[in-house]
Structure 1
Amino acid sequence: MNAWLPVLTLMTSFLSALVIFRIPNHKPGLRTFVNLTGALAKLGLVVLMLGGVAAGEIYETRLALAPGLELLLRVDALCLLFLTLSAFLWLLTTLYAIAYLGEGPNQARFFGFFSLCVAATTGVALSGTLVTFFIFYELLTLSTWPLVTHKGDEASIAAGRKYLAYTLGGGALLLVGMVWLESLAGPIEFAVSGQLVGLDPANLQIIFFLLVAGLGVKAALIPLHGWLPAAMVAPAPVSALLHAVAVVKAGAFGILRVVYDVYGFDLVQTLGVGLPLAGVAAATIIWGSLRALFQTDIKKRLAFSTVSQVSYIVLGTALVGPLATVGGLVHLVHQGLMKITLFFCAGALAERLKITRVDQIDGAARAMPLTMFAFSIAALGMIGVPPMAGFISKWQLGVGGLEAGQPWVLFVLGTSSLLNAAYFLPLVYRAWFNPPLGEQPAKRERPVMLIAPALVSAAAAVLVGLFAGFEFSPLQWAQLIVSREYGR
């Protein structure tokens, strides 16, 4: 049974996609049933495996693709950190998307590719080899493009072209690096030490650059981030998926795998490639925050915030110290919870009050108090106000920077937090304390499923901070990864 669990987890969303593509648009009830069944099944399987992995169980499936080439699906502690986030947020985003899209056109296409996107993200998390990772990483690109272009207007098509240009270019760099590395070392399996021993350091440095550059496109490292703000023309559920769990997280997760499981801590330090990567991440953190500060469109402000916040994960990874590593790992979950809340709320404001710009948000809390409450909680978490999720991440990264002998990390975190406050607090203040621009609007928080997912994710962002010391919290799980998988 252990060998089948990874396959079953992948199939929950893949089979859902195949079925949904065949459901006519006039049968929304059946489509909703398939969507929610798949999401609940995946979440149940993930919860089952959490207990097993914590107890030392191994879940692994190997399928031969060609002589010397395997498709390996493996559930380890790092996989489950990402996979649990993916399963939980897929369920919330599905509920939100059903309410958001209502009875709009092309829903079979939308939800089919939506589930296929989640299947690809699940495959990325489950990948046990570099080749397996690459297959699902590129499937993620192809399954996300129809979601970005879902509206079919000129702006959406242009954004889709830009998205493909960036991500396929990144995929090409990743492929070159992967082929070069495997031509020297043979098939690369994650979490196997000593695979690169004895190889030429100069080659390994160049290959590291190629792999990180290819993954850095989806992780939105500067100057490879240009596709992300453009993709904000997509519907709000797509934006939430892109920023919280799918595309940007796949890039950051890939960098985690390259640093930890392909090269390893010691080799990264020996080659001297960690500190330059940390520098790029730090520059991205500051640049993304500065760009967010000057955006008048709410979704674009959130997009540049993502550019900044995802690089916290890369920064913790690149410092390769135990505490910094924990900070980067835990932020993978914490950022997802906070950012999906913000996009859920932004989509609800646009749908119910037609608010898309910062100057339109005055008094919005009077018409949508629950929505703005969730938005405010997530915004304060992003700033790093204790005891919420963002504070836990920043504290771990700050202490980790000092432990790694890099005190400049404190300056980066402090500057970023000030900028976070500068571009989030005006939104919160204007919504709660400024009078409405026009006539006092009536309450608009309907349907319930448009609002409830944001409240749940906002509550989760608070709870993972308040109970960070409890067993199975993201922080404790990140510490388990570092202690078990990497000997730290």
Structure 2
Amino acid sequence: MDADLLPAVTIAIPLLAAVLIPIVGRNENIREGVTIAAAVAMLGSVLAMLPAVLSGSRITISLLPMVPGGDLALRVDAFGMVFALTAAVLWLLNSFYAIGYMRSLKEHAQTRFFFCFAVAIAAAVGIAFSENLLTLFVFYEILTIITYPLVVHVETPAAMKAGRKYLAYLLVGGIFLLAAVILTYILTGTTVFVPGGFLAGSGSALILQVLFLLFMVGFVKAAWMPLHGWLPAAMVAPTPVSAFLHAVAVVTAGVFGIVRIAGWVYGMDLMASLGLGIFLAAIASFTIVTASLFALTEDNLKRRLAYSTVSQLSYILLGVSMLSIAGMTAAMAHIPIHAFLKITLFFVAGAVIVSAGKECISEMKGIGRKMPVTALMFSAAALGICGLPPLAGIISKIYLALGAFEGGMPILLLVIIASTVLNAAYFLPIIHTMLLQRPDDERSLDSVTEPPLVMLIPIVLTVAVSVWIFLSPSMPFMDLVDIAIAEITGSVIP
């Protein structure tokens, strides 16, 4: 196959699965077989492009002529591959997990569920491989629309209310993003991403500052405060959806977009001259600390994890705000690092729902005695987010600390320290409850067991990958980040 076709093929694979899933939906084994086969095929397609990208090459293909400098087109570069590879691996693991979860709880509308998942992952990869702002916008809005049925899946009044909030935030954000894309095109006559940016000299400082604000509101999927309310509300969705929102696609698409804007539309020098680093640092610092304080108050495990995500995703904004090589490295590397750790935590939350029917932390006393592997994997991932080796979370924190000094913003080290303390404050009590506390009624755990293997194995594998990232600094994710950093700093000719 022509290598230039691979980006389009990668997106076409889950779309083909989305066509087949409703056709074979009456037979759940065939339907789920299609999902797994598509996930394997898509991961294979992404991996097939990996050697070329690691060698410094890019793969491009134009899908549909639109306007000069703004065709619907795909380009696979190192940073896009970070997101795509993360999404591809986790879609495969989440697909197995979702099968076990949905079957165990005998959830309704499973065909619709797997159909929407397939389209959503295609949109996420489309975002990762977008050559320009217009293409990114198209896939970004597809992702918003197709994930709405997943958020409201249970169809309760609470779910429908959460769905309305979800659409309100994300569709309004989409309007701001479209305005930003149009203004960029008016100023420059192009929307094509350029390493190091292309906006310099295209408008006054005020116009470019306003444009950046439009982009920030447009990428509301990044869930920075105060535009975060949709994310905790969306926790009414089934746990595989929560995992997908937090680790595989939606919030990751938001922070990915902001990093793309900083490195490939503005560039670090222009960002610094406009004072945008300070602006981002203020938003990120406020979000990191405030969301962690909200997490401390939540007894519902999924909602506590949701606020943790709001906080943790702003690590990426904080890294960008430093406008330094180490800070940008932290921002890019935190995408897969956070994804593998946070999806583990959501997988465990879902496993506890399936095996014990419990959603609140206060109800999980001693559950680790009946679910030791599940509880230990939760503990490992939680401690990884706190920054304890040998989990990969410490990598982000080290680079953030280095980036703060390198970018002349050492005060941000206080934010990192405060976040680490708060991470421990909202995770350690959960670990204590699961592993060390005795249940109020010992008999309440009599029927509790580990979740089905189809759910347990992905939980273990996501932790294993996080350990691998820590132990193997030359593994693909970090190599891709190094290449992307070299591109936006001018070490590699575009």
TM-score bucket of the superposed structures, by smaller chain: over 0.9
TM-aligned CA deviation for residue 466 of structure 1: 2.1
CA distance in structure 2 between the partners assigned to 1:93 and 1:180 by the alignment: 38
Match of 2:232 among 221, 229, 232: 229
CA contact (8 A) 2:267 2:488 kept: no
Instruction: Look up the match of 1:445.
Output: 450
1:76 aligns with 2:74: no
Question: More displaced, 28-37 or 194-203?
Answer: 194-203
TM-aligned CA deviation for residue 19 of structure 1: 1.3
> Tell me, which stretches of 5 or more residues in structure 2 are unaligned?
none
Q: Where in structure 1 do 4 or more consecutive aligned residues deviate above 4 Å?
A: none
CA contact (8 A) 1:259 1:318 kept: no
SS of alignment partner, residue 71 of structure 2: strand
Superposed, which structure 2 residues align to 1:359-438 within 5 Å?
Answer: 359-438=362-441
CA contact (8 A) 1:149 1:156 kept: yes
Deviations 1:265-286 (A, max 9, x none): 1111111112111210111000
1:254 aligns with 2:260: no
Instruction: Look up the match of 2:133.
Output: 130
CA distance in structure 2 between the partners assigned to 1:400 and 1:248 by the alignment: 23
Deviations 1:121-180 (A, max 9, x none): 011101010000000000000010000001111111000000000001111111111111
TM-aligned CA deviation for residue 78 of structure 1: 0.4
SS of alignment partner, residue 3 of structure 2: coil
CA contact (8 A) 2:39 2:91 kept: yes
Instruction: Look up the match of 2:216.
Output: 212
CA contact (8 A) 2:62 2:71 kept: yes
CA distance in structure 2 between the partners assigned to 1:436 and 1:80 by the alignment: 45
CA distance in structure 1 between the partners assigned to 2:286 and 2:335 by the alignment: 19
CA contact (8 A) 1:2 1:58 kept: no
Distance 1:71 1:435, change over 3 A: same
Instruction: Look up the match of 1:54.
Output: 54
Amino acid at match of 1:85: T
CA contact (8 A) 2:195 2:487 kept: no
CA contact (8 A) 1:366 1:443 kept: no
TM-aligned CA deviation for residue 211 of structure 1: 0.8
Distance 1:21 1:171, change over 3 A: same
CA contact (8 A) 2:66 2:72 kept: no
Amino acid at match of 1:179: I
Instruction: Look up the match of 1:289.
Output: 292
CA distance in structure 1 between the partners assigned to 2:61 and 2:124 by the alignment: 17
CA distance in structure 2 between the partners assigned to 1:464 and 1:54 by the alignment: 17
Instruction: Look up the match of 2:269.
Output: 266
Amino acid at match of 1:79: G
CA distance in structure 2 between the partners assigned to 1:441 and 1:229 by the alignment: 32
Instruction: Look up the match of 1:96.
Output: 97
CA distance in structure 1 between the partners assigned to 2:317 and 2:67 by the alignment: 35
TM-aligned CA deviation for residue 480 of structure 1: 2.3
Deviations 1:276-313 (A, max 9, x none): 11210111000111100111111100000000000001
CA contact (8 A) 2:123 2:140 kept: yes
Match of 1:178 among 172, 181, 200: 181
CA RMSD of aligned residues (A): 1.3
TM-aligned CA deviation for residue 446 of structure 1: 3.6
SS of alignment partner, residue 60 of structure 2: strand
CA contact (8 A) 1:72 1:128 kept: yes
Instruction: Look up the match of 1:201.
Output: 205
Distance 1:91 1:194, change over 3 A: closer
SS of alignment partner, residue 300 of structure 1: helix
Distance 1:463 1:151, change over 3 A: same
Match of 1:457 among 459, 462, 469: 462
TM-score normalised according to structure 2 size = 0.96
Instruction: Look up the match of 1:303.
Output: 306
Instruction: Look up the match of 2:19.
Output: 18
Question: More displaced, 126-135 or 447-456?
Answer: 447-456
* Alignment coverage as a number of residue pairs: 484
